[in-house]
Structure 1
Amino acid sequence: MGEFVGDTLDQRYKEGKPYKDYNLDKQGEGMFWAAAVNPNRKDDPEASACDKPPFWVDNGTTPDEPLAVSPKILAEYAYDELPVPGTRIEMRPAETTKVNLPTWVWLDRTRFKKISVTASLPGTGLSATTTAEPVSLHIDPGTPDARTYPASGDCELNADGSIGAPYEQGKADDTPPCGVTYLRSSGSDGSYPLRATVTWKISWTSTTGEGGNLPEGTFGATEDVKVQEIQSVNR
């Protein structure tokens, strides 16, 4: 049995059926690809589905094998490694606000910006770059007794790539481009769970010219907002 297997391998890789002398004359032009099991998924039913013997692939090309690593698979791997920051919004007033007082909401541009990760297959010339860009912020004030800006609660990307606008002195009575006004107090010991969700657009490119979009990513977090009545003094 061992001799038969050895003869079969010699024919395949040494005697020109289909490779001659292990393609040594093509050193630097490509390499043999072989099946490998992902150690993190070795117990999956399909983990060993690729049982094809090692085959030659020229550098910079994608093999005609459905289970082989492709530029899109590299892009999806890079997607998993994107350093998307935790969803943390800026608010003014922060933490505690007043009934009927507009609260301004925005994203810190130094944290929420376009980010990219490149994944490559060493020695093959194949790589893919996946890019994430924040495109919108959705505000759910945590109570129906509130008014959001815009009314939909969806703050879209500005022309300069920012979302929302920082509060500036003297704008307390202005309508924020992105924000919320609470219409009722949250009580002396209560708060409203304001939910902020950032949507990221995901796209990819590769060394083969392939590319496109991947499913958008949505990441959210909750801020506890205390809302107090405005105290008035009667004389």
Structure 2
Amino acid sequence: MAWCSATVGGGPVGGEAVPQVDYEALAYEARASLSLGTPGISMSPSADAPILVRVPVWLWVDDWDAQSATASVPGGSVTVTATPSALSWDMGDGTTVECEGPGTAYTSRVHDPAEESPDCGHTYTSRGDREVAASMAWSIEWSSTSGEGGSLPDLVTTSSVSVRVVESSGVVT
């Protein structure tokens, strides 16, 4: 419970109950009601087709927006805001790629497919079936109607996709 009543004005006779809000507890309630989605994995080449060994893979997520939730009780309310703070990719081959932002979306009209992503990518060096997982860390801040506020422990959301990495050989005749 995020609030309780206290008596002011000299005790129960002639006093009135005033709600005392535990804003930090209310912040945890608001945090629990956040609806953070899992990272929407985007890759180029796409995970839907085989990925070639030694061809750069661009990685990005489209959902890099802050999310908020509010919890209220008589006497006050708290709003928590979850902001994406880090993105980590487990590439399924023993490599972890750390990205400071959402990554750059690959656009065929703008980017050369032979070039590496400027901020978030990976190049496989061997073939095989891989499970690629993206983990997004969210920093959590809260503020209240009383002016109190602070930070709460980070949250992490994760999603994954299977990819097939293949080799291509040329034949000289």
User: Aligning the two structures, in what range does the TM-score lie when normalised by the shorter sequence?
Assistant: 0.7 to 0.9
How far apart are the structure 1 equivalents of 2:32 and 2:112? 41
Matched, 1:224 2:168: no
> 1:89 Cα deviation (Å)?
1.2
* Residues 49-100 of structure 1: per-residue CA shift (max 9 Å, x gap): xxxxxxx225xxxx3xxxxx51111110010111101222111111131000
Shift of 1:21: 5.2
- Quote the residue 1:45 is aligned against: none
The structure with more radius of gyration: 1
CA distance in 1, matches of 2:88, 2:14: 61
Alignment coverage as a number of residue pairs: 161
Which residue identity lines up with residue 179 of structure 1 in the other structure?
A: G
Equivalent residue number for residue 106 of structure 1: 60
Deviation at 1:131, TM superposition (A): 0.3
Name 2:97's counterpart in structure 1: 153
Residues 63-102 of structure 1 correspond to what in structure 2 (within 5 A)?
63=20, 69-95=21-47, 96-102=50-56
2:18 is aligned to 57
Measure the CA separation in 2 of the matches of 1:98 and 1:154. Answer: 22
Larger RCO, structures 1/2 (Cα 8 Å, 6+ apart): 2
Q: Is 1:171 aligned with 2:142?
A: no
The structure with the largest strand share of the pair is: 2
Report the alpha carbon displacement of residue 17 of structure 1 after superposing the two structures with TM.
Answer: 6.7
| Distance (whole Å) between structure 1 residues aligned to residue 10 and residue 25 of structure 2 | 30
TM-score, with length taken from structure 1:
0.64
Q: Comparing both structures, which one devotes a greater share of its residues to helix? A: 1
Query: CA-to-partner distance for each residue in 1:19-75, whole Å, 9 max, x for gaps?
Result: 23564xxxxxxxxxxxxxxxxxxxxxxxxxxxxxxxx225xxxx3xxxxx5111111
SS at match of 1:153: strand
8 A Cα contact 1:89 1:196, kept in partner: yes
Unaligned stretches of 5+ residues in structure 1: 1-12, 24-55, 64-68, 147-151, 158-162
Choose from 8, 12, 26 the match for 1:19.
12
Q: Deviations for 1:134-184, whole angstroms, at most 9, x for unmatched residues? A: 11110111113x6xxxxx611003xxxxx1000122421212110111101
Identity of aligned residues (%): 32
Q: Which runs of 5+ in 2 are unaligned?
A: 1-6
Runs of 4+ aligned residues of structure 1 deviating over 4 Å after TM superposition are: none
TM-score under structure 2 length normalisation: 0.85
